[in-house]
Structure 1
């Protein structure tokens, strides 16, 4: 259930983005919600221990650092425990879910660059005996800036020009590694992160500001777990839309309430679906009803489609990016 305490709700809902980039952020948060820094940390600790908060930290934009892709495997049901354990053991894997489809195991894989990503997927296929299909992002229609717990909607933002990926210096890669698990919950977390990365507190803050400004970061703040907050049903809805129509329909779909994420992905010989969206709800019926409404409102009824409800979450963490060889030190 969503927290009913006003301060807890504010921590969960109001700080998913625009988190204070100041030397004592917990005190800044407390000043906004009316409690001391120690109480902010105590409340966040309890929310984390109850599974409602994953971390407080960065959410990187896809393919702005390193390379990443959505991937799927068709795993025989009897083999799921073995395959899940192998896939989860790869540090480059996050957000690993079981979904209702022949391609039933869905995860995000990340690596330093495209060759390393291809090698990671090949290694997983060899280790599991279930070759994954890779469905990289081609176009975004809905940017993830957080999840409004009052309405169940993600916060939308108009998509602007994304700067080309730029090579990162070694110090940036060290900071990325230090932030993988989010901020440490100490009075001056940016200083502690800087110590781990070998840079100053002021350099940490300046780098985070730069990343937010140039699109490297999608947002910086509280990362919540939807299931534990009452949004227990979610479906990945996909349609096979011709290339000449997918962009217009994607933007139209993303403009509607109830759409959590929306993007175009590469197809494969065994996966014809190019248009994806996520719908979260407090029940399966609510998700199915909203999907039916969206199909009619957007004009998607003529296209082949599939609905993949999530049934189990095996891994949910931030993407772990590794520096290219020679830059980590």
Structure 2
């Protein structure tokens, strides 16, 4: 059942998707911006979590900046897709895993740590072999036009300005930083001083922790500290991974155009191979399937594009943020190399 959101709930969801301030009392600052008390604000957020509208509020760390290798992967599963999905999900670097409406029917994102003994290509190869997958595609990002799920209820055609990339400071991760990232990536406590909870676990001062987290933002290690939603409960019943087959010289134009729409939450140029000919990927969210398809049709007609596909997700097998610097990565590699199978 889709929730009916009040104006205050919509404002809070918008704030939390944009990102919470990394300060001593973030919810006090956010609540003052919309004219309610901090306790009222936290009550609303707790209620939105209980209703399964807000999934999690935590840092969105940049996988590549942390040294991880990652990619989108498509499998053509001909047998028991749930069994294959379960095996894929066992890898701690799989954050998203969906069944989609295409002969390549299992789509997942996977990341491996910088000191992985297997590397990404070998990891995917072993997963495929263990599950008798004959055809698959590793679709690496070649260019990023947009990333950032900030759902808007005002229709698919609403545009937004694409923020210019801010210059990043150079920063090399230390062991202490890995400990901070491991603790801070958990769901934020909904209390007056949430960062104090993290600081206690780490045995450091709150001020030092705030300094570090803000440093990660400036260095591009963290994109933002924000909420992710249960899309359907928030009113976005339709989401389609729309892929476009366009000539190389037209990819940038279409990529930037798609990225300008709020309904488009992700847009990438990806690698192609003998199984996959669509280089441009865009994730589009809408309140109805008809609205989504009209949006795609309009863009295709405006740009004279004939070859495109909308791949709908039919089953969500996994969706969670990766727990970076977890020992689970190394345990999984030992398991798979010792003959672990489906």
Measured against the shorter chain, the TM-score band is 0.7 to 0.9
Alignment correspondent of 1:5: 6
Is 1:133 matched up with 2:175?
Answer: no
Contact 2:149 2:228 in 1 (8 A): no
- Give the Å deviation of 1:176: 1.8
The answer for unaligned runs of 5 or more in structure 1 is: none
* Count, aligned residues: 322
Instruction: Determine which of 193, 199, 202 is the counterpart of 2:198.
Output: 193
Give per-residue Cα distances to partners, 1:52-105, cap 9 Å, x unaligned: 1111111233522222211121112x5012112212222211121111001111
Residues 245, 7 of structure 1: alpha-carbon distance in 2 compared, 3 angstrom cutoff: closer
Q: CA deviation at 1:21?
A: 1.6
Q: Does 2:317 align with 1:314? A: yes
Q: Does 1:277 align with 2:282?
A: yes
Alignment of 1:228 with 2:239, yes or no, is no
Question: CA 1:162–1:93 in structure 2 vs 1: closer, same or farther (change >3 Å)?
Answer: farther
Distance 1:128 1:37, change over 3 A: farther
Provide the residue aligned with 1:178 in structure 2.
183
Instruction: Tell me how far apart the structure 1 counterparts of residues 151 and 160 of structure 2 sit (CA, whole Å).
Output: 6
TM-score, normalised on structure 1?
0.87
Secondary structure class of the residue paired with 2:284:
strand
Q: Is the 8 A contact 1:146 1:154 kept in 2?
A: no
CA displacement, residues 154-206 of structure 1 (integer Å, 9 cap, x when unaligned)? 86523437759864111221122113333122332212223334443222222
Q: Secondary structure at the match of 1:12?
A: helix
Match in the other structure for 2:51: 50
Tell me the CA shift for residue 264 of structure 1: 0.3
Deviations 1:222-251 (A, max 9, x none): 222211111111111112233333223322
Q: Is the 8 A contact 1:237 1:279 kept in 2?
A: yes
Change (3 A) 1:314 1:269: same
The verdict on how the C-alpha distance between 1:146 and 1:317 changes in structure 2, with shifts beyond 3 A counting, is same
TM-score, with length taken from structure 2: 0.84
Check if 1:99 corresponds to 2:103.
no
Structure 1 segments, 4+ long, off by >6 Å, are none
Match of 1:40 in 2: 41
1:54-69 pair list within 5 angstroms: 54-65=55-66, 66-69=68-71
Q: Per-residue deviation at 1:288?
A: 0.9
TM-aligned CA distance change 1:151 to 1:2, over 3 Å:
farther
Judged with a 3 Å threshold, the aligned counterparts in structure 2 of structure 1 residues 162 and 182 are, in CA distance, closer, same or farther, namely farther
CA distance 1:257–1:194, change in 2 (3 Å): closer
Distance 1:116 1:324 in 2: 16
Distance in 2 (CA, whole Å) between partners of 1:156 and 1:222 is: 21
Give the distance between the partners of 2:238 and 2:149, measured in 1 at CA. Answer: 20
Q: Specify whether residues 127 and 194 from structure 1 end up closer, same or farther in structure 2 by C-alpha distance, changes over 3 A only.
A: farther
Name the CA distance, whole Å, in 1 between partners of 2:185 and 2:317. Answer: 18
State the Cα distance separating 1:271 from its structure 2 match.
1.0
Q: Which range is displaced more, 203-212 or 46-55?
A: 203-212
Contact 2:62 2:220 (C-alpha < 8 Å) held by counterparts:
yes
Superposed CA deviations along residues 295-319 of structure 1, whole A, max 9, x for unmatched, are: 1223323xx3222111121211112
- Distance in 1 between residues matched to 2:171 and 2:201, nearest whole Å: 23
